[in-house]
């Protein structure tokens, strides 16, 4: 008989160095990782709920704040945060300059200009009746206006309507809010008339207060053609209103002077945007900081929940870990199992949190009559961040589970 080396492999078996652990396929990894969720559904559901509540809080905060900001943006847009006014400056002699007749056409060529309109000063005055002394004007100016002025400055109506293609040529007038109050007029009808420029004009509209241009509140507006025909208006514009793409306000503002009057840009005065624009910018910065802070807190709470759940899972399942190690599972496969379970738990909580947070946002926005806005980036960030934090939180429990030897794990109750 020939002696066999004590460490030699038995006949017919491959050398030990040739034995390799079986690699788990992605589908197998998912099934193994879901074992803990299937065998302990109540604990998994409660853990996922805890994560979902944290993520829902983040999504709801982002959604409600975004909806509120969207509503604020709509309100501020009506106040003209993207409207600039162009008026004549002074020439080198100190006299008031004039806007060229081509100012409107030239300004309209700027790509970021959305609306523009103009008004022109007349020398007429307006009175409630023809018996009011000429000196009692109440400071009400009479301006020639174009049909597109309300759309440009965001004007709304308390009564009646604006000048149209039919009324802008005749004896029709629209009163600003302050002018109407001074004249004691609050309705617009064929029977409501004012004495304007030595003749009767019919009041066809009364404007609500205009936050963008409060100077228009104390004004009476007549059609451009009617002013030329009945009031001796010379046709020269005194103010040009320009509504711009909000993202390009500063860029367009630098171009307006030399666009309106290329030969003498120094004779053009471009007013700064309304204070509402600065309020909007400050509000956006405040909201952004608030979102980042609250989102970070919510994600931190979710990560602590995942870590706590996975550590408890490792402690409860030492016997299972021991049996799997005894049957040939490697340390790497144990790590992958518990890491996958943490990711699945985080994914369930994250997805549920997005749905719950969106529902809360929609419900609250409906009660406030706000537009609903849940940014896609917030939903994607919520799920993605949950997975990253879940992986980080589940890494230590997974490593701890992999370090358990089969005998140690089976010896534990």
pLDDT tens digits, 115-125: 899 999 999 99
Residues 317-335: tens digit of each pLDDT: 666 666 666 766 777 777 7
Enumerate residue ranges in the chain where pLDDT < 70: 1-33, 35-36, 39, 73, 75-81, 272-292, 294-295, 298-299, 301-303, 305-307, 309-310, 313-325, 327-328, 402, 404-413
Question: Distance (Å, rounded) from C-alpha 348 to C-alpha 232?
Answer: 75
Question: Distance (Å, rounded) from C-alpha 317 to C-alpha 44?
Answer: 14
Position 2 scores a pLDDT of 44
What residues does each domain of the chain span? 25-74+280-411, 83-273
Residues 6+ apart with CB under 8 A from 210: 153, 154, 155, 176, 177, 216, 217
Question: Distance (Å, rounded) from C-alpha 328 to C-alpha 314?
Answer: 19
Question: Distance (Å, rounded) from C-alpha 169 to C-alpha 226?
Answer: 5
Position 258 scores a pLDDT of 87
Listed residue (152, 199, 140, 148) closest to 172, CA to CA? 199
Q: Tell me the three state secondary structure of residue 165.
A: coil
Position 319 scores a pLDDT of 65
Q: Where are the beta strands (DSSP E) in 7-102?
A: 83-88
Position 61 scores a pLDDT of 78
Position 81 scores a pLDDT of 65
Position 4 scores a pLDDT of 45
Residues 137-177: tens digit of each pLDDT: 888 999 999 999 998 888 899 999 999 988 999 999 999 99
Structure pTM? 0.54
Q: Tell me the three state secondary structure of residue 204.
A: strand
Dihedral angle, C-alpha 5, 9, 15, 19, nearest 10 °: -130
Q: Percentage helix, strand, coil, to 5, in the chain?
A: 55, 15, 30
Q: Are strands 172-175 and 193-196 parallel, antiparallel or unpaired?
A: unpaired
Do the beta carbons of residue 154 and residue 208 sit within 8 Å? no
Question: Distance (Å, rounded) from C-alpha 245 to C-alpha 8?
Answer: 83
Do the beta carbons of residue 59 and residue 353 sit within 8 Å? yes
Longest dimension (CA), the chain: 142
Position 54 scores a pLDDT of 75
State the CB neighbour count (10 A cutoff) for residue 35.
15
């Amino acid at each position: 008989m020939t002696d066999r080396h004590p460490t030699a492999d038995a006949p017919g078996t491959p050398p030990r160095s040739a034995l390799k652990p079986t690699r788990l396929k992605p589908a197998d990894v998912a099934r193994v990782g879901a074992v803990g969720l299937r065998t302990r559904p109540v604990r998994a559901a409660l853990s996922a709920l805890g994560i979902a509540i944290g993520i829902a809080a983040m999504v709801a905060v982002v959604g409600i704040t975004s909806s509120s900001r969207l509503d604020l943006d709509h309100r501020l847009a009506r106040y003209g945060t993207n409207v600039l006014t162009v008026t004549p400056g002074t020439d080198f002699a100190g006299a008031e300059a004039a806007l060229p007749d081509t100012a409107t056409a030239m300004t309209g060529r700027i790509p970021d200009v959305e609306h523009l309109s103009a008004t022109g000063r007349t020398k007429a005055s307006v009175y409630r009746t023809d018996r009011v002394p000429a000196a009692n004007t109440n400071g009400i100016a009479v301006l020639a206006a174009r049909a597109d002025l309300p759309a440009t400055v965001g004007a709304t109506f308390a009564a009646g309507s604006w000048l149209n293609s039919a009324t802008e040529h005749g004896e029709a007038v629209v009163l600003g809010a302050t002018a109407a109050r001074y004249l004691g007029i609050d309705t617009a009808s064929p029977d409501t008339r004012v004495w304007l420029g030595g003749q009767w004009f019919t009041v066809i509209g009364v404007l609500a207060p205009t936050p963008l241009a409060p100077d228009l509140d104390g004004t009476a507006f007549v059609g451009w053609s009617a002013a030329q025909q009945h009031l001796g208006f010379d046709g020269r514009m005194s103010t040009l209103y320009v509504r711009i793409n909000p993202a390009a306000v500063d860029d367009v503002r630098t171009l307006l002077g030399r666009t309106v009057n290329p030969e003498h840009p120094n004779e053009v005065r471009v007013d700064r945007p309304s204070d509402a624009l600065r309020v909007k910018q400050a509000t956006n910065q405040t909201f952004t900081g608030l979102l980042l802070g609250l989102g970070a807190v919510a994600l931190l709470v979710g990560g602590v929940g995942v870590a706590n759940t996975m550590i408890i899972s490792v402690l409860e399942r030492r016997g299972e870990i021991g049996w799997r190690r005894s049957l040939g599972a490697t340390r790497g496969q144990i790590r992958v199992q518990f890491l996958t379970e943490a990711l699945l738990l985080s994914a369930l909580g994250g997805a549920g949190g997005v749905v719950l947070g969106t529902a809360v946002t929609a419900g609250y926005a409906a009660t406030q009559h706000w537009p609903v806005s849940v940014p896609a980036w917030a939903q994607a960030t919520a799920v993605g961040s949950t997975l990253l934090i879940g992986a980080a939180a589940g890494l230590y429990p997974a490593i701890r589970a992999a370090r358990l030897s089969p005998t140690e794990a089976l010896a534990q109750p």
